[in-house]
Amino acid sequence: MLYCCWFADTGYGRLTKTQLQQLLTTTHHWQVRVIAALRRLREQLKTWPQRQMIIKIRQAILAEELLAEQIEQLMMVEVPFLRPHKTEHRNSGSRMLVKI
């Protein structure tokens, strides 16, 4: 969703259904195998006794989960067909990543 907003806001227009489907296909394995796996592990650790070691592990997993989401955003920006000629130049490309 954030990518679609960035895509339109930076002057690329709207994604077609085909482009959106290809974007989702491109990121699906990363989303399932990396991001969701980290999230599941972090959530499972919530049920463990909250000792200092478990809290630190959960914080480390959260940091890796956020990094994995940033990598996913970079993967989306790198999809070649999603870089058509801009219709206008409203914002610089430096806002490609969304700070979480």
DSSP string, 12-34: -----HHHHHHHHHHHHHHIIII
- pLDDT score for 51: 94
User: What residue spans define the domains of the chain?
Assistant: 2-80
Closest Cα to residue 82, out of 90, 91, 74?
A: 74
**What is the full per-residue pLDDT of the chain (100 aa) written as tens digits?**
777 777 778 777 788 888 888 888 889 999 999 999 999 999 999 999 989 999 999 999 999 999 999 999 888 888 776 555 555 444 544 444 444 4
Residue 30 backbone zone (phi > 0: left; psi -120 to 50: alpha; other: beta): alpha
Count H helices and E strands in the chain, helices first. Answer: 4, 0
